[in-house]
Amino acid sequence: MDSTTELIRLIESFDSKNRKISPATVLTRDLDLSSVEIMEMIEKIEDHFDINFPLNRLEEVNSVAGLAAIIDDLMTGHS
């Protein structure tokens, strides 16, 4: 299973309205996630992927695909 698929499954747990989540889904606009919910999601992502997500990279997060790309970078040692 690739990181995008795993990430979508994690994000689905934060979506109380059971919307269709795809790589193009914009976290704040399409899912109406608050900054607190995004931070909670980042914590869950860190635990799941065994990474440390630098807070300065949060501003790069927009879509699911963008978040997956950052996770892939962190998992391969790029920051």
How is domain 3-11+22-75 classified at the CATH fold level? 1.10.1200
* pTM reported for the whole predicted model: 0.86
pLDDT tens, residue by residue, 54-79: 989 888 888 999 999 999 999 998 76
Cβ atoms of 10 and 41 closer than 8 Å:
yes
**Following CA atoms 10, 50, 76, 21 in sequence, which dihedral angle do they give, to the nearest 10 degrees?**
0
Cβ atoms of 24 and 68 closer than 8 Å:
no
Q: Is the pLDDT of residue 1 over 70?
A: no
* Structural domain boundaries in the chain: 3-11+22-75
Q: Which two tokens stand for residue 58?
A: 């949060």
The model's confidence at residue 11, banded by pLDDT at 50, 70 and 90, is very high
pLDDT tens, residue by residue, 37-55: 888 999 999 999 999 999 8
Q: Is the pLDDT of residue 36 over 70?
A: yes
